[in-house]
């Protein structure tokens, strides 16, 4: 076919096309323009601060929970409020909550990481510290800080937690209330109906679970109930009841724990073989199926990771709707072959923020932190603006003016509060003020929480782990290279043990798992942990430190 | 194309000189619009396909984020030594090989058979309906297909085990037995991709001259003989082309499928290179180690593709 198009037209058209493409490519490159240069001067005159506010960039977790009417997590009423009231011009950078590791790695790899980074996970922050990407803060605090410096003097634990292997402070931390974040819940009405006692030992736990599964406690004539749930988090709670955690302190030294894994694998294996649990628990990758069974009144014993207020508002409310006479109560962890333990606690001293080593304005970052830790700031972020969102209630604590308004405008801003030490507000900062006691179901949830505080924060029982996972030491790179590849094969081995049938005993499972460990040079990891425990654990925040804070907080009541 | 004739002109005007021949200059001038249009494609490949390949040097470095790709210290073959000293590496490589080769053996002939069968269908509407139905699963993501497979084969809530309980009184742990898991894995892969893969064969079949079939039937060839001597030779170039391409991917077990179908119980056979790279590289940040694994995987792929082409060339069917 002959080309009938005018060649000049073709040339010009293609040139245009190419240049448009090129332009589109170029305009993507971020222009290093000065953001909000105009507002800067405005602020200056209106707020009347002596020196100009400096620009800083700060991360904020993005959970996709900001209502559309409020804008985005990077630009909304609270980001504006922090800019207006705070000491710096803050540009917020959203970090997807469950992809923060990838996002932060990419930001650092492309040297575009923000100045101030909010992150909980130590396994994300510690490698950044090792690589020198984060700033030591001792001088910054000394030189520029007021409020935070005071807090450090008052609560030395903040310093202990923020200090890393080289003896310098790298992390800003906050104080929080100690309360159980794991729980073992049981259907009290089922216990009564089948005339059973609260299980005292793990063997009792098995018997009760078996009875729940087989004796039709919901009375519908069908064998459709499960004794206990063990998918994901529930399984981890069962592990903790047996103290099946990798590292335990024995005779003054840290050892790799195997025996307790045998015990818990045997326990779960019996549950599986006898159909006491949902046999498809392995497919329930996030525990949603177990939760669904629980709120439908099909599970007798529910071990879980619990947020007490939201549990009362959601799971308990739904359960009560489905099964009006259901009674749920927390019970102490039964005595296992390894002993009887308290559940995992919230982290009382939690490191939440680090500073980029290449930040231009460390002074502004420090001032911003000082601003965030102030009780007034924490209170406003938590409750909203006085008069608009809350008023002083009968108890003397803030009470929402309108629940809907609170939900729409305030309740989603939790990720701006990562420096708030709410526990310092001894009167109104406690978790228990979050329950709405006029709602009967929430009142029940509140009673559960009170009971849990009593039975779970018992100083005479030991803590399951060496410390809260966020305070476990970071393995150096060469040890991590040995440890990392073995995690999954060993975890898989124990799951195989549960599902392996009669022919594959728990003892054999542990033997095979140990075999992987020995072949993979696990001895080196053990040696490293022993050395750490003997030499450096004095600087670490261990279980005894958690108990100390706990007792201190309880005596304040 | 309008430019074609000038090319032959240029050939005939062959003249020896050190500079660019005037004809070549004319040729270039004439084709400037085409070249400019080609430029974005070229840039795309250079920027997004070739330049990132430079990143594989981190397999020979102790990569860390602060020093970046170029600043990180060289460590020679250390990463490879470490990789092959890990107890599970050999198992992972073996698993990748096994699963892929089985996948190739099972999955490769199916679309060909399907295409030939569709080609023989006389009723056009039936052919269309079947073709649409078999290629629909291609557009489902593996997350969805994984969910379907689980709800079919689960122990307690699975549809198939419900039937089995009614018949023999006992469920069978399909997903937890190695053999049945492997069959499900391969079967779901075939089910999802066969329809889409058949399209290319259908296109090749459409290119076979109908006169050949006419002549064949006049000579008394039955359906089977026509298929053996006309249809299959007619699409054999396509078959060999696709075979060579898929042989190159033998080490590369797609991540999505295995990630959504694997479970801890069958990890002995299900742990493959792509899962390893995800777990160790992306989740645990050991970029250098997994880059070394990636290089190894691709080297094996390259060798296999050369080998396959070499064999194909023996039969005069080579790609290059």
pLDDT tens per residue, range B96-116: 989 999 999 999 999 999 999
The answer to whether residues A240 and A379 belong to one domain is no
The answer to whether residues A77 and A189 belong to one domain is no
Residue with the larger pLDDT of the pair A557 and B203: B203
Most confident of A182-196, A305-319, B47-61, B93-107: A182-196
Instruction: Tell me how far apart the alpha carbons of residues A311 and A316 are, in angstroms, rounded to a whole number.
Output: 6
Instruction: Tell me how far apart the alpha carbons of residues A138 and A482 are, in angstroms, rounded to a whole number.
Output: 33
> How many structural domains is chain A composed of?
2
pLDDT at A447: 95
Q: Which residue of B has its CA nearest to A131?
A: B66
The structure tokens 């259901």 sit at: A326
Whether residue A90 lies inside any domain: the answer is yes
Instruction: Tell me how far apart the alpha carbons of residues A271 and A300 are, in angstroms, rounded to a whole number.
Output: 13
The first and second tokens of residue B141, run together, are 């993501």
Whether residue B160 lies inside any domain: the answer is yes
ipTM computed for the complex = 0.78
The answer to whether residues B116 and B45 belong to one domain is no
pLDDT at A34: 40
In the predicted structure, residue A323 carries a pLDDT above the cut 90: yes
Q: Please count the helices (runs of H) and the strands (runs of E) in chain B.
A: 18, 0
List phi, psi (to 5°) of B46. Answer: -65, -45
Here the CATH number for the domain that contains residue B163 is 1.10.3720.10
pLDDT at B156: 86
Q: How many CB pairs under 8 A join A and B?
A: 88
Whether residue A142 lies inside any domain: the answer is yes
Beta strands A54-62 and A88-96, pairing class: parallel
The answer to whether residues B203 and B160 belong to one domain is yes
List phi, psi (to 5°) of A237. Answer: -65, -40
List phi, psi (to 5°) of A110. Answer: -100, 20
Q: Which residue of A has its CA nearest to B71?
A: A109
Interface probe, candidates B1, B31, B33, B283, chain A, greatest A C-beta count within 10 A: B33
In the predicted structure, residue A2 carries a pLDDT above the cut 70: no
Give residue A31's region: left, alpha or beta (phi > 0; psi -120 to 50).
Answer: beta
Chain A contact for B5, CB < 8 A?
no
Residue by residue, DSSP assigns A8-24 as HHHHHHHHHHHHHHHHH
The first and second tokens of residue A19, run together, are 């240049």
Closest Cα in chain B, distance from residue A431 (Å): 33
Interface probe, candidates A269, A280, A486, A502, chain B, greatest B C-beta count within 10 A: A280
The answer to whether residues A228 and A354 belong to one domain is no
Lowest mean pLDDT among A42-51, A339-348, A547-556: A42-51
The domain containing residue A105 runs over which residues? 48-176+348-424
Q: B2 vs A108: CB contact, 8 Å cut-off?
A: no
The answer to whether residues B296 and B231 belong to one domain is yes
Q: B32 vs A485: CB contact, 8 Å cut-off?
A: no
The answer to whether residues B9 and B132 belong to one domain is no
**Which residues neighbour B57 within 8 Å (Cβ) at sequence distance 6 or greater?**
B69
Lowest mean pLDDT among A90-94, A484-488, B133-137: A484-488
Residues of chain B contacting residue A17, judged by C-beta atoms under 8 Å apart? 37
Q: A516 vs B87: CB contact, 8 Å cut-off?
A: yes
The answer to whether residues A362 and A417 belong to one domain is yes
The answer to whether residues B86 and B42 belong to one domain is no
The answer to whether residues B56 and B86 belong to one domain is no
> Is residue A398 within 8 Å of A383, Cβ to Cβ?
yes
The answer to whether residues A186 and A172 belong to one domain is no
Instruction: Tell me how far apart the alpha carbons of residues B155 and B159 are, in angstroms, rounded to a whole number.
Output: 9
Chain A contact for B82, CB < 8 A?
yes
The answer to whether residues A300 and A446 belong to one domain is yes
Q: B65 vs A131: CB contact, 8 Å cut-off?
A: yes
In the predicted structure, residue A24 carries a pLDDT above the cut 60: no
Whether residue B73 lies inside any domain: the answer is no
Q: List the 154-213 stretch of B: residues with Cβ below 8 A of A.
A: 154-158, 171, 173, 175-176
Q: At which of B41, B64, B87 does a domain end?
A: B64
Q: Under DSSP, is residue A79 helix (H, G, I), strand (E, B) or coil?
A: helix
Residue A11 pLDDT grade (very low, low, confident, very high; cuts 50, 70, 90): low
Q: A519 vs B87: CB contact, 8 Å cut-off?
A: yes
Helices (H), chain B: 4-12, 22-30, 32-44, 68-71, 78-85, 87-107, 109-120, 124-135, 142-153, 159-168, 178-206, 210-218, 223-226, 232-247, 255-261, 267-270, 273-276, 287-314
Q: A519 vs B280: CB contact, 8 Å cut-off?
A: no
Nearest to B156 among A109, A278, A500 (CB): A278
Instruction: Tell me how far apart the alpha carbons of residues A543 and A520 are, in angstroms, rounded to a whole number.
Output: 29
Q: B2 vs A128: CB contact, 8 Å cut-off?
A: no
Closest Cα in chain B, distance from residue A157 (Å): 29
**Which residues neighbour A505 within 8 Å (Cβ) at sequence distance 6 or greater?**
A266, A497
Q: List the 90-149 stretch of B: residues with Cβ below 8 A of A.
A: none
pLDDT at A341: 96
Interface probe, candidates B84, B87, B148, chain A, greatest A C-beta count within 10 A: B87
The answer to whether residues A165 and A273 belong to one domain is no
Provide residues of A within 8 Å CB-CB of chain B. Answer: 1-3, 7, 10-11, 14-15, 17-18, 21, 101-102, 105, 108-109, 127-128, 131-133, 278-280, 282-283, 480-481, 484-485, 488-489, 491-492, 495-496, 499-500, 516, 519-520
The answer to whether residues A263 and A192 belong to one domain is yes
Q: Which residue of A has its CA nearest to B146?
A: A283
The answer to whether residues A166 and A289 belong to one domain is no
Q: A137-148: per-residue pLDDT in tens?
A: 999 999 999 999
Instruction: Tell me how far apart the alpha carbons of residues A520 and A517 are, in angstroms, rounded to a whole number.
Output: 5
The answer to whether residues A307 and A197 belong to one domain is yes
Burial of A209 (0-12, 13-18, 19+ CB in 10 A): buried
pTM above 0.90, yes or no: no
Q: Under DSSP, is residue B267 helix (H, G, I), strand (E, B) or coil?
A: helix
Residues of chain A contacting residue B66, judged by C-beta atoms under 8 Å apart? 108, 131-133
The answer to whether residues B13 and B146 belong to one domain is no
The answer to whether residues B150 and B269 belong to one domain is yes
Q: Which of A249, A172, A157, A150 is nearest to A552 (CA)?
A: A157
Cα angle for residues A80, A86, A92 (degrees, 5° grid): 50
The domain containing residue B207 runs over which residues? 78-314
The answer to whether residues B161 and B285 belong to one domain is yes
Q: A438-448: per-residue pLDDT in tens?
A: 889 999 999 99
Q: A3 vs B286: CB contact, 8 Å cut-off?
A: no
In the predicted structure, residue A40 carries a pLDDT above the cut 60: no
In the predicted structure, residue A340 carries a pLDDT above the cut 60: yes
Q: A349-390: per-residue pLDDT in tens?
A: 999 999 999 999 999 999 999 999 999 999 999 989 988 999
Residues of chain B contacting residue A102, judged by C-beta atoms under 8 Å apart? 282
Q: Which of B239, B216, B242 is nearest to B227 (CA)?
A: B216
Residues of chain B contacting residue A3, judged by C-beta atoms under 8 Å apart? 1-2
Instruction: Tell me how far apart the alpha carbons of residues A269 and A259 are, in angstroms, rounded to a whole number.
Output: 15
Instruction: Tell me how far apart the alpha carbons of residues A324 and A317 are, in angstroms, rounded to a whole number.
Output: 10
Beta strands in A80-136 (DSSP E): 88-96, 116-118
The first and second tokens of residue B161, run together, are 């085990």
The mean pLDDT of A503-531, rounded to a whole number, is 93
Closest Cα in chain B, distance from residue A17 (Å): 8
Q: A495 vs B264: CB contact, 8 Å cut-off?
A: yes
The answer to whether residues A200 and A159 belong to one domain is no
Q: A499 vs B265: CB contact, 8 Å cut-off?
A: yes
The structure tokens 């063990």 sit at: A230
Q: A481 vs B157: CB contact, 8 Å cut-off?
A: no
> Is residue A308 within 8 Å of A431, Cβ to Cβ?
yes
Residue A10 pLDDT grade (very low, low, confident, very high; cuts 50, 70, 90): low
Instruction: Tell me how far apart the alpha carbons of residues B184 and B257 are, in angstroms, rounded to a whole number.
Output: 11
pLDDT at B1: 39
Whether residue A484 lies inside any domain: the answer is no
Q: B88 vs A105: CB contact, 8 Å cut-off?
A: no
> How many structural domains is chain B composed of?
2
Instruction: Tell me how far apart the alpha carbons of residues A114 and A57 are, in angstroms, rounded to a whole number.
Output: 5
Instruction: Tell me how far apart the alpha carbons of residues A379 and B158 are, in angstroms, rounded to a whole number.
Output: 51
The mean pLDDT of A473-480, rounded to a whole number, is 84
In the predicted structure, residue A21 carries a pLDDT above the cut 80: no
Nearest to B265 among A10, A21, A495 (CB): A495
Q: Which of B63, B60, B51 is nearest to B287 (CA)?
A: B63
Here the CATH number for the domain that contains residue A107 is 3.40.190.10
Question: Mean pLDDT over all residues of chain A?
Answer: 87
Nearest to A14 among B33, B155, B156 (CB): B33
The answer to whether residues B152 and B195 belong to one domain is yes
Q: A520 vs B36: CB contact, 8 Å cut-off?
A: no
Whether residue B320 lies inside any domain: the answer is no
The answer to whether residues A385 and A419 belong to one domain is yes
> Is residue A190 within 8 Å of A302, Cβ to Cβ?
no
Residues of chain B contacting residue A481, judged by C-beta atoms under 8 Å apart? 82, 286, 289
The mean pLDDT of A393-416, rounded to a whole number, is 85
- Name the DSSP class of A187: E
Instruction: Tell me how far apart the alpha carbons of residues A346 and A180 are, in angstroms, rounded to a whole number.
Output: 6
């Amino acid at each position: 076919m002959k080309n009938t198009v005018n060649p000049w037209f073709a040339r010009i058209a293609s040139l245009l096309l190419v240049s448009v493409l090129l332009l589109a490519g170029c305009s993507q490159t971020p222009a290093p323009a000065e953001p909000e240069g105009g507002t800067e001067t405005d602020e200056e005159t209106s707020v009347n601060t002596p020196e100009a506010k400096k620009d800083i960039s700060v991360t904020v977790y993005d959970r996709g929970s900001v209502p559309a009417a409020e804008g985005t997590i990077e630009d909304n009423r609270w980001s504006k409020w922090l800019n207006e009231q705070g000491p710096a011009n803050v540009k917020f950078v959203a970090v997807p909550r469950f992809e923060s590791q990838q996002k932060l790695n990419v930001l650092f790899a492309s040297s575009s990481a923000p100045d101030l980074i909010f992150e909980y996970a130590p396994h994300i922050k510690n490698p950044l510290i090792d690589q020198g990407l984060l700033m030591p803060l001792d001088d910054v605090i000394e030189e520029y800080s007021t409020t935070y410096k005071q807090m450090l003097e008052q609560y030395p634990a903040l310093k202990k937690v923020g200090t890393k292997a080289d003896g310098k402070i790298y992390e800003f931390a906050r104080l929080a209330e100690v309360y159980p974040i794991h729980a073992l819940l049981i259907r009290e009405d089922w216990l009564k109906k089948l005339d059973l006692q609260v299980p005292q030992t793990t063997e009792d736990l098995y018997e009760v679970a078996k009875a729940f599964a087989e004796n039709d406690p919901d009375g519908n004539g069908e064998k459709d109930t499960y004794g206990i749930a063990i998918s994901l988090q529930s399984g981890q709670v069962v592990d903790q009841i047996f103290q099946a955690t990798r590292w335990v302190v024995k005779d003054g030294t840290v050892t790799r724990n195997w025996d307790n894994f045998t015990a818990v694998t045997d326990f779960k294996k019996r549950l599986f073989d006898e159909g006491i649990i949902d046999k498809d628990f392995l497919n329930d990758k996030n525990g949603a199926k177990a939760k669904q069974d629980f709120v439908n009144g099909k599970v007798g014993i529910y071990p879980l990771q619990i947020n007490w207020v939201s549990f009362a508002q959601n799971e308990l409310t739904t359960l009560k709707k489905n099964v009006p006479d259901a009674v749920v109560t927390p019970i102490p962890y039964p005595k296992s072959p390894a002993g009887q333990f308290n559940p995992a606690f919230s982290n009382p001293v939690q490191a939440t923020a680090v500073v980029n080593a290449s930040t231009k304005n460390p002074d502004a970052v420090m001032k911003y932190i000082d601003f965030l830790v102030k009780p007034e700031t924490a209170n406003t972020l938590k409750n909203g603006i006085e008069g608009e969102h809350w008023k002083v209630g009968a108890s003397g604590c803030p009470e929402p003016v309108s629940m809907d308004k609170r939900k729409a405008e305030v309740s989603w801003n939790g990720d701006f509060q990562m420096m708030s030490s709410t526990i310092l507000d001894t009167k109104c900062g406690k978790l228990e003020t979050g329950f709405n006691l006029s709602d009967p179901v929430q009142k029940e949830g509140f009673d559960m929480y009170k009971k849990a505080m009593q039975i779970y924060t018992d100083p005479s029982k030991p803590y399951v782990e060496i410390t809260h996972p966020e305070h476990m030491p970071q393995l150096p790179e060469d040890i991590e290279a040995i440890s990392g590849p073995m995690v999954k094969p060993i975890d898989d081995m124990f799951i195989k043990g549960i599902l392996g049938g009669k022919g594959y005993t728990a003892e054999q499972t542990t033997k095979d798992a140990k075999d992987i460990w020995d072949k993979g040079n696990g001895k080196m990891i053990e040696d490293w942990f022993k050395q750490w425990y003997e030499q450096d654990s004095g600087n670490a925040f261990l279980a005894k430190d958690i108990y100390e804070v706990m007792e201190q907080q309880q005596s304040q009541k | 194309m309008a430019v074609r004739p000038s090319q032959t002109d240029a050939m005939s005007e062959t003249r020896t000189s050190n500079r660019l021949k005037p004809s070549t200059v004319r040729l270039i001038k004439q084709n400037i619009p085409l070249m400019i249009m080609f430029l974005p494609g070229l840039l795309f490949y250079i920027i997004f396909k070739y330049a990132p390949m430079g990143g594989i040097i981190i397999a020979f470095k102790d990569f860390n984020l602060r020093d970046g790709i170029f600043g990180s210290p060289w460590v020679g073959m250390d990463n490879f030594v470490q990789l092959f000293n890990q107890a599970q590496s050999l198992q992972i490589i073996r698993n990748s090989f096994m699963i892929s080769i089985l996948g190739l053996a099972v999955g490769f002939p199916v679309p060909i058979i399907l295409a030939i069968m569709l080609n023989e269908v006389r009723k056009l509407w039936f052919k269309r309906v079947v073709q649409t139905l078999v290629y629909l699963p291609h557009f489902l993501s593996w997350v969805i297909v994984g969910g379907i497979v689980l709800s079919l084969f689960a122990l307690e809530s699975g549809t198939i085990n419900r039937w089995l309980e009614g018949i023999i009184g006992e469920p069978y742990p399909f997903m937890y037995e190695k053999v049945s898991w492997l069959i499900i894995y391969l079967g779901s892969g075939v089910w999802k991709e066969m329809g889409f893969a058949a399209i290319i064969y259908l296109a090749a079949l459409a290119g076979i001259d109908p006169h050949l079939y006419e002549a064949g039937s006049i000579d008394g060839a039955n359906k089977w003989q026509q298929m053996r001597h006309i249809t299959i030779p007619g699409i054999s170039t396509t078959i060999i082309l696709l075979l060579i391409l898929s042989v190159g991917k033998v080490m590369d077990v797609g991540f999505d499928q295995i990630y959504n179908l694997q479970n801890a119980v069958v990890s002995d056979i299900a742990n493959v290179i792509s899962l390893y790279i995800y777990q160790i590289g992306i989740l645990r940040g050991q970029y250098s180690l997994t880059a070394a694994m990636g290089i190894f995987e691709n080297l094996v792929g390259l060798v296999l593709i050369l080998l396959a082409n070499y064999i194909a060339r023996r039969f005069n069917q080579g790609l290059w």
